[in-house]
């Protein structure tokens, strides 16, 4: 059950950013009686949201909250209050209220029945417009205009009609981080908030791919890259222990790229990998190519007499190793290691892969860093800019894909909308009393 929110007499509020966080804030405010104007630099709303749903919109996850919340790592204390009132169950109920039924997949992830983001976004926009929300597309925020003392903040926008300045004392910023800048989140807002004294953490790639450090060359060999880039490593397991003692272990799959690795397993441990590279210059994880077999079973099969068969045919016959898995062994092991049964068997179960750098932030699915927790109160209002709230990916937190990232974006938008609504109610009452 969502909490009862105050009603207010019509007040003008601006929301900058038309992604899930911004739209959720706009919904909360408009339902309570505020006149909400949404501004976005893109020609249409939800560009990144639509891209996220291109292969099937993973809206959230069905795990119990106690497990779900662990995916926010060191930022759990910050994110938990958002999820307390608008977690996975509330998000599914909200979608159903828009006429979008969801189902739980075999992995526990939650998807709309139609699998697409478009029907949900279309129904949502219809609701918002019926509530009176006004949309101003191709309106790029340019920072603050100078303002006389005691007046409302003045916001500069680049519009199709030229630069315009709008006065608004209440605003929700949902500007995204710096991933996929072509879809609108380019991080340009950082210097404007920093100039107002807002504490910011540097933006960094999250849910990203990495470049490998090859053997005697900076990335994969030309042979491996040309033949295997884009191919998946399926039914594998990864194990990572960083220099701080943090560990990660999981089964799944990932993809070899022209210069390294990416995909779900890599994204899930990207924060640990990125931070380890920043601290030590590189990071190493171990890959189990056959997690369904014990080390003893693998060693026995490798040692089995192969007669006149080649090593590749022997490994394929005895262990089912072929294609990219076999190629990866040839890529990373020396000739002596390949022909030592003990070393080869050990590598099949624990193949070290060294990474030298994360891919650029513009290629990342999401970003970490941004507006720091200490810059805001518990309602996500900036201490240095009363009446200005922040939400979504522009805040300093991160989460893996799998529904966790998107759920918290929705939840933070609702939290910021509720905070703005409460601030409006309190300040309207104070002004009336005075």
The mean-pLDDT minimum among 15-29, 172-186, 237-251, 419-433 falls in 419-433
Domain boundary among 358, 393, 410: 358
Question: Residue 431's pLDDT is what?
Answer: 45
Give a yes or no: residue 277 inside a domain: yes
User: What's the 3-state SS for 363-377?
Assistant: HCCEEEEEECHHHEC
The reply to whether 404 and 351 lie within a common domain is no
| Interval 367-379: pLDDT, tens | 999 999 999 999 9
Question: Residue 9's pLDDT is what?
Answer: 60
pLDDT band for position 11 (cuts 50, 70, 90):
low
User: Is 47's pLDDT higher than 80?
Assistant: yes
Does 236 or 306 have the greater pLDDT score? 236
The reply to whether 216 and 194 lie within a common domain is no
Question: Residue 2's pLDDT is what?
Answer: 63
The mean-pLDDT minimum among 171-175, 217-221, 403-407 falls in 217-221
Give a yes or no: residue 105 inside a domain: yes
User: Is 39's pLDDT higher than 50?
Assistant: yes
pLDDT band for position 5 (cuts 50, 70, 90):
low
User: Is 34's pLDDT higher than 60?
Assistant: yes
- What are phi and psi for residue 237, nearest 5 degrees? -135, 150
The reply to whether 354 and 386 lie within a common domain is no
Question: Residue 3's pLDDT is what?
Answer: 62
Give a yes or no: residue 132 inside a domain: yes
DSSP 71: G
Domain boundary among 298, 323, 358: 358
**Strand residues in 147-189 grouped as ranges (E):** 154-159, 162-167, 171-173
Give a yes or no: residue 5 inside a domain: no
pLDDT band for position 411 (cuts 50, 70, 90):
very high
Nearest alpha carbon to residue 359 among 250, 205, 225: 205
Does 411 or 10 have the greater pLDDT score? 411
CATH no. for residue 29? 3.50.50.60
| Interval 154-210: pLDDT, tens | 899 999 999 999 998 899 999 999 998 888 889 999 999 999 999 999 999 999 999
The reply to whether 264 and 146 lie within a common domain is no
The reply to whether 228 and 246 lie within a common domain is yes
Give a yes or no: residue 166 inside a domain: yes
The reply to whether 44 and 182 lie within a common domain is yes
| Interval 338-363: pLDDT, tens | 999 999 999 999 999 999 999 999 99
Domain boundary among 358, 385, 416: 358
The reply to whether 132 and 29 lie within a common domain is yes
d(CA 123, CA 193): 33
Answer whether 316's CB lies under 8 Å from 322's CB.
Answer: yes
Give a yes or no: residue 6 inside a domain: no
As a whole number, the mean pLDDT across the chain is: 91
Give a yes or no: residue 365 inside a domain: no
| pLDDT > 90 fraction of the chain, expressed in percent and rounded | 80
Question: Residue 271's pLDDT is what?
Answer: 93
Range 320-324 average pLDDT: 93
The reply to whether 149 and 118 lie within a common domain is yes
d(CA 389, CA 396): 14
| Interval 376-399: pLDDT, tens | 999 999 999 999 999 999 999 999
| Interval 97-109: pLDDT, tens | 999 999 999 889 9
d(CA 404, CA 35): 31
- What are phi and psi for residue 144, nearest 5 degrees? -100, 140
Please state the domain count of the chain.
2
Question: Residue 1's pLDDT is what?
Answer: 55
Question: Residue 53's pLDDT is what?
Answer: 73
d(CA 49, CA 52): 5
d(CA 88, CA 63): 9
Range 311-327 average pLDDT: 92
The reply to whether 308 and 327 lie within a common domain is yes
The reply to whether 229 and 316 lie within a common domain is yes
The reply to whether 247 and 120 lie within a common domain is no
pLDDT band for position 434 (cuts 50, 70, 90):
very low
**pTM reported for the whole predicted model:** 0.89
User: Is 217's pLDDT higher than 90?
Assistant: no
User: Is 10's pLDDT higher than 80?
Assistant: no
pLDDT band for position 430 (cuts 50, 70, 90):
very low
d(CA 155, CA 192): 11
> What is the 3-state composition of the chain as percent helix, strand, coil, each rounded to the nearest 5?
40, 25, 35
How many angstroms from the chain centroid is the CA of residue 425? 33
DSSP 382: B
User: Is 433's pLDDT higher than 50?
Assistant: no
Give a yes or no: residue 228 inside a domain: yes
The reply to whether 70 and 111 lie within a common domain is yes
Residue 259's domain spans which residues?
Answer: 210-358
Which of 126-135, 163-172, 180-189, 304-313 has the largest mean confidence? 126-135
């Amino acid at each position: 059950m969502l909490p009862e929110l105050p009603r207010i007499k019509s007040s003008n509020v601006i929301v900058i950013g038309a992604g899930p966080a911004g739209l959720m804030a706009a919904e909360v405010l408009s339902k309570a009686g505020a006149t909400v104007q949404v501004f976005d630099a893109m020609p249409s709303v939800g560009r990144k949201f639509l891209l996220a749903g291109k292969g099937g919109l993973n809206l959230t996850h069905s795990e119990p909250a106690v497990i779900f919340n662990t995916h926010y790592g060191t930022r759990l204390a910050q994110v938990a209050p958002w999820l307390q009132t608008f977690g996975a169950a509330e998000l599914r109920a909200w979608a159903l209220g828009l006429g979008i039924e969801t189902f739980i997949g075999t992995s526990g992830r939650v998807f709309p029945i139609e699998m697409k983001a478009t029907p949900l976004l279309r129904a949502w926009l219809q609701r918002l417009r019926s509530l009176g929300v006004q949309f101003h597309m191709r309106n790029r925020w340019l920072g603050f205009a100078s303002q006389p003392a005691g007046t409302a903040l003045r916001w500069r926008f680049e519009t199709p009609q030229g630069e315009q300045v709008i006065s608004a004392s209440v605003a929700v910023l949902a500007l995204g981080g710096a991933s996929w800048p072509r879809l609108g989140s380019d991080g340009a807002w950082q210097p404007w908030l920093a100039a107002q004294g807002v504490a910011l953490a540097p933006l960094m790639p999250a849910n990203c791919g990495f470049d490998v450090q090859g053997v005697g060359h900076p990335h994969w060999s030309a042979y491996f890259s040309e033949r295997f880039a884009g191919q998946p490593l399926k039914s594998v397991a990864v194990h990572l222990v960083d220099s701080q003692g943090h560990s990660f272990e999981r089964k799944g799959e990932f993809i070899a790229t022209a210069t390294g690795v990416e995909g779900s397993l890599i994204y899930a441990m990207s924060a640990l990998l990125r931070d380890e590279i920043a601290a030590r210059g590189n990071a190493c994880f171990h890959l189990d190519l056959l997690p369904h077999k014990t080390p003893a079973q693998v060693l026995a099969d490798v040692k089995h007499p192969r007669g006149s068969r080649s090593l590749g045919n022997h490994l394929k016959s005895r262990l089912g190793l072929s294609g990219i898995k076999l190629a990866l062994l040839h890529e990373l092991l020396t000739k002596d290691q390949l022909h030592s049964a003990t070393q080869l068997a050990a590598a099949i179960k624990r193949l070290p892969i060294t990474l030298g750098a994360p891919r650029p932030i513009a290629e990342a699915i999401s970003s970490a860093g941004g507006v720091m927790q200490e810059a805001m109160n518990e309602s996500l209002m900036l201490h240095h800019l009363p009446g200005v709230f922040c939400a979504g990916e522009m805040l300093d937190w991160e989460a893996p894909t799998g529904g966790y990232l998107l759920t918290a974006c929705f939840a933070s938008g609702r939290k910021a909308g509720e905070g703005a609504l409460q601030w409006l109610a309190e300040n309207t009452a104070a002004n009336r009393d005075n």
